[in-house]
A and B are shown apart, each in its own frame.
Chain A
């Protein structure tokens, strides 16, 4: 690796390394990725599959410990890997340096041993179903991980790839990971950490970047996989799904959006500033790129502070955050979209619509108060919409159209009837309700998009009572 070029791959030592090509990710940084051809990739997949039976013999507690040791290096101040990650992340992902640090801290918190053990026990109870047969409801059962888990991630949220990788390794599945272009750094560094501790385990993983939509390339490995997971927009998930044979277990994390709800109880004059700070932080982390990022905030009327006034508080909080967690730079295309949405919001306000807009000029943060739900906007940078609601049932009505894509709901000031609200939200597709401060980083055992992060990756074999 040279100063400005990052080699975006980690493959088993027994595989020869083909040539590589560079992709520029900005004026000072480029990633090199391997020039992959189908036959090479297929052979790599076959090698990974071959290692599966060896991997299956390992104890899951042992894997959790080793993965945890590798993961915890990213949290240890002064560890060369953490230092390298902090140096590379802003350039590779476009996040500002303080933001990249916050994202790394938040993501890596889940990569340590006790969190991984917590995840395992949440998914499989105290049993060791991944290590052998366990008694369940009078019968014996065992969870078997894939012979090859292919994980295709698109998107630019750093850390998603490592989390995906850890999950499949915990199920003892050899893994081929294609991280998103903005997320190549962490999986490769993680594999470097793993190789130092346990070369044998590292041999079960390949991390490779290629540009998405290379169906010839993808078809071969999808044929060989027994479990396929994809993370990305609907279009990319759809294209991978179309290439995946029907017999494969397919886990899709398609496009998701999250929103926030601020009840009137959080809008007293004593609480409003703290509420605004918490909402602002959820908006700021990931610069609204995450599926957990709240794109729209629904604010209940009737509190001391009106929803319209709360938009101003949120704007001030976002402005203040620029000091601690500055927003990252925008791609040309994103900057174009930002000007469009700001200008359209200003014109709508000028036309007598009841809405309004606050924005940070060159900083991307933008609060659009949009009571009539008039604006459709791309969420580029820290753009957040705000809509007033009369009461919480109004919220369900407004969110229903987005049912297919809803994920998390950040809440403040809705403590009364919380369970009732949560159930109603669940019925329209929401899979997580959390405090704004917790919104960016779900706890590791969460039901990711309503599913089970580990159990979705295994199949069960039931051994019934045999004989007399």
Chain B
């Protein structure tokens, strides 16, 4: 998190009350209305208000929309709201509202392997972000317990202040952990002895844990263990795994990783939940296997304030249910930047859930998981 409020003057001046009012309403909805089904009508109304606010208070986005003749008086449904590509976050700040109110800057990986600038997401309303991430995290990872021991293979926010993934885990730990252990440092080095001890103690004491890690970190850890099985984690333990499966050490499928993890720590594969997120979206999508154990790999469920569509790659029109397309997200948690985001990820949407088929990092490293992967990969060089 970086306070840059003193470095930028506001280009707009006073932020309208309208934006603040909407932010307040959304924050309340995020915190309280997770369970209630948001009707299409309700979502539409909020989405169009968000578009209107972004059109009014994000001058770059406004000119972009005007260039496409897609202005609030013309746009009648959220699907027609102009989308910004995820890459745009690499070139522009895309802040809606007063620049001086920006409180945090999250960055995608600025890597040594490419000449590309890193993406950035400037966040003005941490409380809105917290509300979104906490209720979502609770719903899919801790639906059954108030607090749990966090064992993280994701570096702490103190170590990686610009990582939205670290920040998310940090905020979740602040309110939902009984105890938090961080076992990967900012350089990507894994403290495997500490990790082993903590898991061992938890197993002996029958204390449930939430183990969190990127696919890459987990693979790295399993490689170190070389097939050794640890004590079974107590029932009720769970794992949050995030990130792609093109691990840089070796290729491994999701199934293989889950099987191997499950054998190593003695948890059923359905206790492993995949999180799908990116710096450009402030909401995350989770698999719902903890709450619906029969629906393993039944896709990622968006929170009610986010809608996802698969689009025809040529026309950008929505494809039919269950057909593959480019994924586009309308995320109300992005009120402070731009809600409607077009990604390079590919998948199908079935019953509102996303079935991911591929991310195209071939073009460029993206997302926090990838940044972490590269950290760990580079740390290997200097490790013993």
Binary A-proximity of B71-92 (CB < 8 A = 1, otherwise 0) = 0000000000001111110111
Distance in Å: Cβ of A227 to nearest Cβ of chain B: 31
Closest to A342 in B: B85
Q: Which of A306-344 contact B (CB under 8 A)?
A: 330, 332-333, 335-337, 339-344
Q: Which of A331-363 contact B (CB under 8 A)?
A: 332-333, 335-337, 339-344, 346-352, 362
Binary A-proximity of B36-67 (CB < 8 A = 1, otherwise 0) = 00000000000000000000000011111001
Judged by a CB distance under 8 angstroms, whether A217 is at the interface is: no
Contact segment of A53-61, A373-381, A410-418: A373-381
Known: A341-B87, A347-B92. A376 touches B344 (CB 8 A): no
Known: A337-B360, A337-B363, A350-B67. A376 touches B88 (CB 8 A): no
CA distance A348 to B89 in the complex (A): 10
Distance in Å: Cβ of B165 to nearest Cβ of chain A: 22
Binary B-proximity of A423-449 (CB < 8 A = 1, otherwise 0) = 000000000000000000000000000
Q: Which of the listed residues B85, B343, B360 has the most CB atoms from chain A within 10 Å of its own CB?
A: B85
Judged by a CB distance under 8 angstroms, whether B316 is at the interface is: yes
CA distance A375 to B364 in the complex (A): 13
Judged by a CB distance under 8 angstroms, whether B315 is at the interface is: yes
Distance in Å: Cβ of B319 to nearest Cβ of chain A: 11
Distance in Å: Cβ of A360 to nearest Cβ of chain B: 12
- Asked if A330 and B88 make an inter-chain contact with CB atoms under 8 angstroms apart, the answer reads no
Known: A350-B61, A376-B117. A336 touches B84 (CB 8 A): no
CA distance A350 to B66 in the complex (A): 9
- Asked if B363 and A339 make an inter-chain contact with CB atoms under 8 angstroms apart, the answer reads no
Closest to A331 in B: B313
- Asked if A343 and B314 make an inter-chain contact with CB atoms under 8 angstroms apart, the answer reads no
Closest to A337 in B: B363
- Asked if B363 and A343 make an inter-chain contact with CB atoms under 8 angstroms apart, the answer reads no
Judged by a CB distance under 8 angstroms, whether B197 is at the interface is: no
Distance in Å: Cβ of A379 to nearest Cβ of chain B: 11
Q: Which of the listed residues A344, A349, A362 has the most CB atoms from chain B within 10 Å of its own CB?
A: A344
**What residues of chain A lie closer than 8 Å to B343, measured between beta carbons?**
336
- Asked if A344 and B314 make an inter-chain contact with CB atoms under 8 angstroms apart, the answer reads no
Judged by a CB distance under 8 angstroms, whether B115 is at the interface is: yes
- Asked if A376 and B85 make an inter-chain contact with CB atoms under 8 angstroms apart, the answer reads no
CA distance A337 to B84 in the complex (A): 13
A/B pair count, beta carbons within 8 Å: 83
- Asked if B85 and A340 make an inter-chain contact with CB atoms under 8 angstroms apart, the answer reads yes
Contact among A332, A341, A342, A362 with B315 in the assembled complex (CB-CB below 8 Å): A362
**What residues of chain A lie closer than 8 Å to B90, measured between beta carbons?**
344
Distance in Å: Cβ of B367 to nearest Cβ of chain A: 14
- Asked if A336 and B346 make an inter-chain contact with CB atoms under 8 angstroms apart, the answer reads yes
- Asked if A347 and B60 make an inter-chain contact with CB atoms under 8 angstroms apart, the answer reads yes
**What residues of chain B lie closer than 8 Å to A341, measured between beta carbons?**
85, 87
- Asked if A337 and B117 make an inter-chain contact with CB atoms under 8 angstroms apart, the answer reads no
Contact among A340, A346, A350, A352 with B344 in the assembled complex (CB-CB below 8 Å): A340
Binary A-proximity of B1-38 (CB < 8 A = 1, otherwise 0) = 00000000000000000000000000000000000000
Distance in Å: Cβ of A402 to nearest Cβ of chain B: 10
**What residues of chain B lie closer than 8 Å to A335, measured between beta carbons?**
313-314, 326
Known: A332-B326, A336-B346, A337-B363. A346 touches B67 (CB 8 A): yes
CA distance A339 to B87 in the complex (A): 10
Judged by a CB distance under 8 angstroms, whether B351 is at the interface is: no
CA distance A375 to B344 in the complex (A): 17
Closest to A375 in B: B91
**What residues of chain A lie closer than 8 Å to B344, measured between beta carbons?**
333, 336-337, 340
Known: A335-B326, A336-B344, A350-B63. A330 touches B314 (CB 8 A): yes
**What residues of chain B lie closer than 8 Å to A346, measured between beta carbons?**
64, 67-68
- Asked if A332 and B313 make an inter-chain contact with CB atoms under 8 angstroms apart, the answer reads yes
- Asked if A347 and B363 make an inter-chain contact with CB atoms under 8 angstroms apart, the answer reads no
Judged by a CB distance under 8 angstroms, whether B290 is at the interface is: no
**What residues of chain B lie closer than 8 Å to A342, measured between beta carbons?**
85
Judged by a CB distance under 8 angstroms, whether B342 is at the interface is: yes
**What residues of chain A lie closer than 8 Å to B360, measured between beta carbons?**
333, 336-337
Closest to A353 in B: B91
- Asked if B64 and A350 make an inter-chain contact with CB atoms under 8 angstroms apart, the answer reads yes
**What residues of chain B lie closer than 8 Å to A347, measured between beta carbons?**
60-61, 64, 84-85, 88, 91-92, 94
CA distance A339 to B246 in the complex (A): 24
Closest to A402 in B: B115
**What residues of chain A lie closer than 8 Å to B326, measured between beta carbons?**
332, 335-336, 339
Binary A-proximity of B300-319 (CB < 8 A = 1, otherwise 0) = 00000000000001111000
Known: A337-B363, A344-B88, A375-B91. 18 other contacts (CB 8 A): A333-B362, A336-B313, A336-B344, A337-B360, A339-B85, A339-B326, A340-B86, A340-B363, A343-B85, A343-B87, A343-B342, A347-B84, A347-B85, A349-B67, A350-B63, A362-B314, A362-B315, A376-B115
A residues near B (Cβ < 8 Å) are 330, 332-333, 335-337, 339-344, 346-352, 362, 374-376, 378
Ordered by A's residue number, 10 sampled pairs between the chains whose C-beta atoms are within 8 Å are A339-B85, A340-B86, A343-B87, A344-B85, A347-B85, A347-B92, A350-B61, A350-B63, A351-B63, A375-B91
7 smallest beta-carbon distances between A and B, as pairs: A335-B313, A343-B85, A350-B63, A336-B344, A350-B64, A340-B87, A340-B85
